[in-house]
Amino acid sequence: MSIATLEEAKKVTTNNLEGKENGWLIELYKDGEKTLAYMTMIKPGMFKGYHLHRVRKARYFCVKGTVKIILYKNKQREEYVLSGEKPQRLFIPDNIATGLLNIGNEDVWLINFPDPPYDPNLKDEQVEYTEEELERGITK
């Protein structure tokens, strides 16, 4: 009888809107089908987003690198910078469009603790946007 359990962790390559690989996403902690924590990697100079979650909040923590997190709500834009050199957490409420830009020279490793946990059975919860749509105040 084993004293520990070894599990596979799902890792997905991510691409920007032009189809160019910009990093990956890996599930760190799951409870059944729900993901309680994941890490996203963003290559230097690359961008991920924009998207918003209708019901899920985000709690970001940067482990490595430097990332600019760009937020939009009702045409209002805010920017935050997280760095692996300065431990900080950023809480983002639901219904806030979010973009992630690696502004450093190394990969960014960004952990998210979604609340509630990611549930693959929850349909139409994530909405994709372009920056132009957000600047114009378009709601989907």
From first to last of its 140 residues, the chain has per-residue pLDDT tens of: 899 999 999 999 999 888 999 999 999 999 999 999 999 999 999 999 999 999 999 999 999 999 999 999 999 999 999 999 999 999 999 999 999 999 999 999 999 999 999 998 988 889 999 999 999 999 88
Sign of the four-CA dihedral 31, 66, 102, 135: positive
Look up the CATH number of domain 11-118.
2.60.120.10
Per DSSP bridges, beta strands 89-92 and 11-15 are unpaired
Cross-strand partners of 12: 25
From the list 89, 105, 98, 96, the residue with the least C-alpha distance to 70 is: 98
